[in-house]
Amino acid sequence: MGNEANCTVKFGKQRLSGKALLESSELIFRSDNGSLRLKIAFSSITSAKVINGELRLKGPEGLAVFELGTTAVKWCEKILHPKTRLEKLGVRPNAIVSSMGHFDAEFLAELSACTRNVTTGKVASAPDLIFFAAESFRDLSQLAKLTKNMEGASALWIIYPKGQKEITEKDVLIAVRKTGLKDVKVVGFSSTHTALKFVIPVDRR
C-alpha cells in the first residue's frame, strides 16, 4: 500500500488539484476534474528533487511538479531509494522462511542471499515467514496444513496473480480468515502478482 496526498500538480501548461498516490515503484496522479492522469514509474525518472515544498520529477514526458509541502521530502527519498522486494516483505537476515508453491528463480535467489534458513516444499517448525504461491482458488485448500506450524509473530504471505478470475483478493481474504488469521498488509510482489500478509491475532499469541 502506498501513501496518498491531496495536492496540486503543475504539468506543462496545466495546474490542477487532485489526488497523488505513491506506490512502491510508481507515482500516480488523478486530477479532480478527470482531465489529467499521470503514472510515473520510478525507473523512468531522470531527476527528482524538492524545492520549497515542491516535488519536482523529470521524465520522458517532461517535468511534473507536485505541491506537497512537508511531505515532498519523504516522497522524494522513497523515490530515490525505494525499498527492495524483501524489505517490503519483511524478510530479515537469517529469518526462518518457508516457500510453498511455484516461485521464479529470481525470488528464490533473493531469499537465499538474505537467509540460509529457507525450506522449499514444506513448512519449517515455527517459521518467521511463509510464502505461499496460490495460482487458483483450489490452491487455497492447503491453508489449514500450511498454517498449523505458525506461532507467535509468524506471518503468512499469500502471493496470487493480479486480474485473474481463477483467484481474487476476495477469495484469498475469505479463505485465510477462516483459519483465524488476520490480514495486515498488501504489497506489489511483481508486475503480475500481489502479496497479502496474514498474522495470528495478538490476543491469540
Q: What is the pLDDT of residues 171-194, one digit of tens each?
A: 999 999 999 999 999 988 988 999
Q: What is the pLDDT of residues 39-67, one digit of tens each?
A: 999 999 999 999 999 999 999 999 999 99
Task: DSSP for 103-161, please give it.
Answer: --HHHHHHHHHH-S-EEESSPPSS-SEEEEE--SGGGGGGHHHHHTT--TT-EEEEEEE
Q: Per the structure block, which three cell numbers stand in for 143?
A: 491453508
Rounded to whole angstroms, the Cα distance separating 28 from 33 reads 15
Helix, strand or coil, per DSSP, at residue 182: strand
Domain stop point among 55, 80, 105: 80
pTM of the model: 0.74
Question: Domain span at residue 166?
Answer: 85-204
Q: What is the pLDDT of residues 124-165, one digit of tens each?
A: 999 999 999 999 999 999 999 999 999 999 999 999 999 999
Domain stop point among 28, 50, 80: 80
Amino acid letter for position 183? D
Residue 102 shares a structural domain with residue 132: yes
Residue 139 shares a structural domain with residue 193: yes
